[in-house]
Amino acid sequence: MILLGVSGSIAAYKSVELLRLFLKAGQDVRVIMTQAATRFVGPLTFQALSGHPVLADSLDPQGWPPVPVRLDRRPSSINASEGGQMAHLDLPEKASALVLAPATAQLLSQLACGAAGDIVSASILAMPRSPAGRLKAPVLIAPAMHEAMWLHPATRANVITLKKFGYQFIGPERGPLGRADDQGLGRMTDPKAIASIVLKAL
């Protein structure tokens, strides 16, 4: 299963195409979104195409079905398959890759300091690692932002930190940016190119 994280960039509409490419390649895809991302593309679009509920809130009870009440058993003896799930832990455990596309400057900054305030950053933080700290499944990040944001020293430092965490970057590219007439480095890599890199990394 590919876990596709979407954050609040003007490029979020391109993630719909990315999802379709993964599905066309026979992949099962689960989509998680930041609250900001839901203002750019409706979760319903991703839900209808992926055939799975979309989580955009780490506290959403949908992502955390209740453990059936059994007075004769201690909670610690109940396993996830019986209903004690938590989406921000279960989805990363099941993912053969996590793809964050588009990745905003805001999300890169959250990830660089280990924040987990939304379902996307919490899931990335929870991606399983070996005892030596190696990621068990690849985390691929496709940033999208204005050139000024990409070149800011804070973003540069965040990218260096995130590479040290083992995350792989795809792009960004140089080209037209979200605001009319703006050009520069910061455009999200084309979904076809992202899909091809991710499918090879699986």
Ligand X SMILES: Cc1cc2nc3c(=O)[nH]c(=O)nc-3n(C[C@H](O)[C@H](O)[C@H](O)COP(=O)(O)O)c2cc1C
Which residues would be at the binding site for ligand X (CB under 6 A)?
7-11, 34, 36-37, 104-107, 118, 144-145, 149, 178
CB atoms within 10 A of CB 20: 15
CB closer to ligand X out of 27 and 58: 58
CB closer to ligand X out of 27 and 56: 56
Tell the smallest beta-carbon distance from residue 115 to ligand X (Å).
Answer: 10
CB closer to ligand X out of 97 and 144: 144
CB closer to ligand X out of 27 and 46: 46
CB closer to ligand X out of 27 and 120: 120
Tell the smallest beta-carbon distance from residue 2 to ligand X (Å).
Answer: 19
How far is it, in rounded angstroms, from Cα 83 to Cα 105? 35
CB closer to ligand X out of 111 and 198: 111
Distance of CA 188 to the CA centre of its chain: 14
Tell the smallest beta-carbon distance from residue 111 to ligand X (Å).
Answer: 10
Tell the smallest beta-carbon distance from residue 11 to ligand X (Å).
Answer: 6
Tell the smallest beta-carbon distance from residue 74 to ligand X (Å).
Answer: 37
Give pairs for 20-29: CB < 8 Å, separation 24+: 20/49, 21/191, 21/192, 21/195, 22/195, 22/198, 22/199, 23/49, 23/50, 25/195, 25/199, 27/1, 27/2, 27/199, 28/1, 28/2, 29/1, 29/2, 29/3, 29/4
Tell the smallest beta-carbon distance from residue 149 to ligand X (Å).
Answer: 6
